[in-house]
Amino acid sequence: MNLSQTHIVPKQHVPIRLQDYGVGIFEAALTKSALKKVLKKQYITVNGNIATSATYINGGETICLTITQDAPPRKSLTFKLEVLFEDDYLAAIHKPAGILVNGNSFKTIANALTQNITRSTLSDVAKPQPVHRLDFPTTGILLVGKTSSSIRALNTLFKNRAIKKTYYAVTIGTMEHEGFITTTVDGKTSKSKYKVHQTIDSKRFGKLNLVQLEPFTGRRHQLRKHLFSIGNPILGDKDYGFENLILNGKGLYLHAYSLQFIHPFTNESLYLKDQLPKRFKKLFADI
C-alpha cells in the first residue's frame, strides 16, 4: 500500500509528515490493538473522511492521524497533612484514618506529601516517599524519606529492626496485665508485646483496655490478628472481631504512637511521637 502522503496533524492542526520521523502510520500506532483504538476514537481520516476498520486503501490516499501533542494536565491532590518532624533528610507526619499510604488510588498519603513537606536542599533530593505502611483504618506517625540516600537508609533501619515502633489500642474484654503474643501470620513467625495501662467497665463490651503494643516483627495486620487470637480484639475492628461486639461508625481504635531510632545521617537519637486521638481520651480521662 502506498502511503506517499501520510502525515500526523497535531492538536494545533499543523501538518507534520511521518516520513520526517522515518516511520509510517502503522509503525506509529505500534500494535494492531493500538490502531483499532485510534480508529474507534475516530482519530484517523482517509482523504478527509473518518476512517473505520472497514475502510479500503487503494493507494495514493492521504491518511491523517490526529493526535494531541500535550497530555492533559494531571489532577493535583489537595490534602493537608500534619507534619510532626522535618529536616533535610526525613520527615514524620500524622496519618489520618481512612486513607491509604500508597497504591493505585488518587487520594493517598504518598500523593499528598509534595505539597506538605519542604523540598530538601541536598544534592540527592527525591520525591518524598513513605518508608513503611500503616493500615487504611489506622492512625498515627508515618516516616518519610526526602532524599535518595535517606530513603535507602531508613528502609535498611526497618529491615534490621533498628526502629522501635510503639502503638496504642483499645481492646475488648478482660486481659492479663502484660505479656507476649507469638503466633504464625501468613506462614511466618510473628511476635508482639503488650501492656495494659488502664481498664474501664463498659455496659456493652464488659471491659475496655488501653493497651500499649510493641511489634517485634512486621507482618500484615499483625497487632490486630494477635489481639484477636487471645480473645481481646481491637475496638472497631470489623475484620478481626467478634460479630456481636463490632463497633460501627467510630473507626479502628489503633494508633501508631511513636518511632524511636538513631538518625542515619546526624546520629541524633530521635523519639518522635504522635499524641493519642481525642476519641481515646474520651474513653480514658487520665491519659
Residue 104 makes CB contacts below 8 A (sequence gap 6+) with none
SS (H, E, C) 97-148: CCCECCCCCCCEHHHHHHHHCCCCCCCCEEEEEECCCCCCCCEEEEEEEEEH
Strand 254-262 relative to strand 188-202, pairing: unpaired
Q: Is the pLDDT of residue 102 over 50?
A: yes
pTM greater than the 0.75 cutoff:
no
CB distance 243 to 203 below 8 Å: no
Domains of the chain with CATH codes:
7-66 (3.10.290), 77-160 (3.30.2350.10), 163-287 (3.30.2350.10)
Per-residue pLDDT tens over the stretch 129-138: 999 999 999 9
Q: What is the pLDDT of residue 31?
A: 62
Other Cβ atoms within 10 Å of 162 Cβ, number: 13
Per-residue pLDDT tens over the stretch 228-283: 999 999 999 999 988 888 887 789 999 999 999 999 999 999 999 999 999 999 99
Q: What is the pLDDT of residue 20?
A: 37
CB distance 281 to 200 below 8 Å: no
CB distance 139 to 81 below 8 Å: no
Residue the block writes with cell 533528610: 89
User: DSSP string spanning 164-175?
Assistant: EEEEEEEEES--
Angle value at C-alpha 99, between 107 and 73, nearest 5 degrees: 5
- Give the pLDDT band of residue 59 (cuts 50, 70, 90): confident
